[in-house]
Amino acid sequence: MPDRPERVLGKATRDAYGETLAQLGRENPRIVALDADLSKSTKSVVFGKAHPERFINVGIQEANMVGVAAGLATTGLIPFASSFATFLMSKAFDQMRMAVANPGLNVKLVGSHAGVSIGEDGASQMGVEDLALACALPRFTVLVPADARAAAALTRVAAEHVGPVFLRTGRAKAAEIYPEGTAFRVGGSVTHHLGRDVNILACGLMVFEALEAAALARAEGIDAGVVDLYSLKPVDADAIVAAAAASGRLVVAEEHLRHGGLGSIVAQVLAERHPARVVAVDLGDRYAESGTPEAVLEAYGMTSARVLEAIRKAAAV
């Protein structure tokens, strides 16, 4: 049984994305990148500096950027278009719908600054509906890395996958979870430990919180496990069912609003295949506010302490 994980902050997932994208650009001349004037924040700037002839900054024009990316894809190139998750999904949703999803073009969309962990900038910059929107699009693959190594691997997975992909990255340094060489794939998941009492299904930053909370729960005598569902779409339904079958009671933890994110996806799988009690840890049905990342994460329950409470609640049923 795994010990309580040590909280060692690694790179932010956005940094891992930018560095990997630049490396992919060296390996594959068909990879191009676009940004809408946020390249220093999304980290697509790393690609831009390495491959200026294949980097297009369209200005603050998310809708145009996604349309341009679609056009680039029709010429055989593999465009990665980056912006903040909220601007990308909200401002360019119709372009993703008709220009990308409808024909199923090979466009990669990377949304950074997801969740409330950006802190000070406040609600307008926080991507908290992005997963619901991305998962709503037919033909889209939706990936949410939990740490820098997962982000690097999933950037590579996105490039190799043929078809539209939304990859979610974060601003904050992410606690290290995965060793070098961990395998990630479209439709995959990582089961860290399958608990007999409660299993936590999580994605993104909440995976580390879940690992820490599970260790604390085990110290209290609750056998809690964790599954990283980094592929929201297609989701690893078998892993969800296996977790439900092992413990009967689940916690879902995500840095996203209540409706349409991981919790909704898990509930749908369970309702169809293996009904089980779920306690949700999410951002609810409200917008967050400014503060230090630590203060905001605490205020909105994006902590191992809050996940531990949910585990206790689930275990008590």
Partner 1 sequence: MPAHATLPVDALRELAPRIRADALRMIAAANSGHPGGSLSAVEILLTLYKGVLRHDPANSEWDGRDRFILSKGHACPALYAVLADCGYFGRDLLPTFRRFGSPLQGHPELGKLAGVEASTGSLGQGLSIGLGMALGHRIRGVDARVYVLMGDGEINEGQVWEAALSAAHLKVDRLTAIVDINRIQLDGFTSDILELEPLADKWRSFGWEVVDLDGHDLDALAGAFDRMRSVAGRPQVILARTTKGKGVSFMEDNPEFHGAPPSAGELARALVELGVADA
Give the CA distances from residue 59 to residues 38, 62, 64, 65, 124, in Å, rounded to whole numbers and listed in that order.
9, 8, 9, 9, 19
CA distance 7 to 122: 25
Nearest residue (CB) to partner 1, 53 versus 285: 53
Query: x-or-dash pattern for partner 1, window 21-40, by CB under 8 A?
Result: -----------x--------
Nearest residue (CB) to partner 1, 52 versus 179: 52
Among residues 6, 19, 62, 220, the one annotated as catalytic is 62
For residue 81, give every residue at least 6 positions away whose Cβ sits within 8 Å of its Cβ, in sequence order, or none: 33, 34, 35, 36, 65, 66, 68, 69, 88, 107, 108, 109, 110
Tell the smallest beta-carbon distance from residue 63 to partner 1 (Å): 5
| # chain residues binding partner 1, by CB under 8 A | 32
In this chain, which stretch among 56-64, 216-224, 266-274, 301-309 interacts with partner 1, using CB under 8 A? 56-64
User: For partner 1, which residue of 24, 46, 63, 307 counts as binding (CB under 8 A)?
Assistant: 63
Nearest residue (CB) to partner 1, 64 versus 290: 64
Tell the smallest beta-carbon distance from residue 93 to partner 1 (Å): 11
DSSP structural state of residue 124: G
Query: x-or-dash pattern for partner 1, window 78-107, by CB under 8 A?
Result: -x--------------xx-xxx--xxxx--
Contacts for 5-9: CB closer than 8 Å, 24+ residues apart: 5/175, 5/177, 5/208, 5/211, 5/212, 5/215, 7/175, 7/208, 7/212, 8/175, 8/176, 9/173, 9/174, 9/175, 9/176
The verdict on whether 160 is a catalytic residue reads: no
In this chain, which stretch among 9-17, 48-56, 111-119, 286-294 interacts with partner 1, using CB under 8 A? 48-56
Nearest residue (CB) to partner 1, 95 versus 169: 95
Tell the smallest beta-carbon distance from residue 107 to partner 1 (Å): 10
CA distance 48 to 54: 7
Residue by residue, DSSP assigns 247-311 as HSEEEEE-SS-SSSSHHHHHHHHHHHH---EEEEES-TTS----S-HHHHHHHTT-SHHHHHHHH
CA distance 191 to 77: 35
Tell the smallest beta-carbon distance from residue 288 to partner 1 (Å): 29
Tell the smallest beta-carbon distance from residue 56 to partner 1 (Å): 6
User: For partner 1, which residue of 71, 234, 260, 291 counts as binding (CB under 8 A)?
Assistant: 71
Nearest residue (CB) to partner 1, 71 versus 291: 71
Nearest residue (CB) to partner 1, 93 versus 300: 93
Catalytic residues: 62
Binding residues (CB under 8 A) for partner 1: these are: 32, 53-54, 56, 58-59, 61, 63-77, 79, 94-95, 97-99, 102-105
